[in-house]
Amino acid sequence: MSYRGGVADTPAQPRRPRRSPGAGERQRDPERTKARILDAAKAEFGAKGFAAARISDIADRAGVNKQLISYYFGGKEGLYTELADRWRETSAAMARPEAPLDAVVAGFVMSTVHDWDWARLMAWVNMSGSAEQTPASEAEAQFMRAQVTELKNRQAAGEIPADLDPGCLLLALFAAASATVTLPRIAELISGADPQSATFTSRYAEQLALLVRHLQHPA
């Protein structure tokens, strides 16, 4: 038995066997091609992680010659960092300032439904990234600090128990909200349902929100 990368690949596009020009459709369209490669890469990297992902698989999924990955992104590593960078930007932009905390957490959980691959990619980046390796962009640190002060404000406003350290709380909430993605097997074992499914995810999101509310207003 050869090792197959983790978690079933996302069904994804029906994977047309060969792209036929299609009336009115350009047959050379660098933007489209790049987008396709990025999508495919997101799916593959998300499913298997960097090391286990194969650029030929990515190319196949994108319906494109694998050389284009070098051509556009400078190889596997370039493609990966491109995606990682985009994720950082996205997550930095994701800072929703003044929603209730339980809603923020639940929303984060739910976001994994719409973009499972993206969430998985985040998880891989976090799991395998160390400080020396990828120096954690200043923007990223900024974002985290902002989130911490966010929590601190909520704490000052009495939304959160005063004796909890905002940093640790943030970390815990982050981890809990990522649970379906980072611990899919346990999630499945516990719930009996597919951790990717909307039904389970929304239930879990709701429960987490409830938990947060319990922290806020005494039970």
In angstroms, give the least distance from the CB of 27 to its own copies.
34
Q: How far apart are CA 112 and CA 178, in angstroms?
A: 8
Residue 64 contact among DNA, its own copies, none, beta carbon within 5 to 8 Å by kind: DNA
Tell me, what DSSP letter sits at residue 10?
P
Retrieve residue 154's tokens. Answer: 């909520």
Retrieve residue 163's tokens. Answer: 């004796």
Residues 37-76 close enough to bind its own copies by CB under 8 A: 48-52
In angstroms, give the least distance from the CB of 143 to its own copies.
9
Q: How far apart are CA 94 and CA 5, in angstroms?
A: 29
Applying CB under 8 A, does 82 fall inside the site for its own copies? no
Among 8, 13, 29, 210, binds DNA (CB under 7 A): 29
Q: How far apart are CA 176 and CA 135, in angstroms?
A: 25
Residues 150-189 close enough to bind its own copies by CB under 8 A: 161, 163-165, 167-176, 178-180, 182-189
Applying CB under 7 A, does 26 fall inside the site for DNA? yes
Residue 56 contact among DNA, its own copies, none, beta carbon within 5 to 8 Å by kind: DNA
Applying CB under 7 A, does 43 fall inside the site for DNA? no
* Minimum CB distance to its own copies smaller for 33 or for 147: 147
Q: Compute φ and ψ for 163, nearest 5 degrees.
A: -90, 0
Among 65, 70, 90, 207, binds its own copies (CB under 8 A): 207
Applying CB under 7 A, does 19 fall inside the site for DNA? yes
Applying CB under 8 A, does 139 fall inside the site for its own copies? no
Retrieve residue 136's tokens. Answer: 């954690």
Applying CB under 7 A, does 42 fall inside the site for DNA? no
Applying CB under 7 A, does 33 fall inside the site for DNA? yes
Applying CB under 8 A, does 203 fall inside the site for its own copies? yes
Give DSSP secondary structure letters for 63-87: TS-THHHHHHHSHHHHHHHHHHHHH
Q: How far is CA 171 from CA 12, 22, 72, 215, in A?
A: 31, 49, 36, 15
Q: How far is CA 125 from CA 26, 88, 122, 161, 209, in A?
A: 35, 10, 5, 31, 26
| Cβ atoms 102, 213 nearer than 8 A | yes
Rg, the chain, Cα only = 20
Among 8, 13, 15, 77, binds DNA (CB under 7 A): 77
Residues 108-127 close enough to bind its own copies by CB under 8 A: 123-127
Would you tell me which residues interact with DNA (CB under 7 A)?
A: 19, 26-30, 32-33, 53-56, 64-71, 75-77
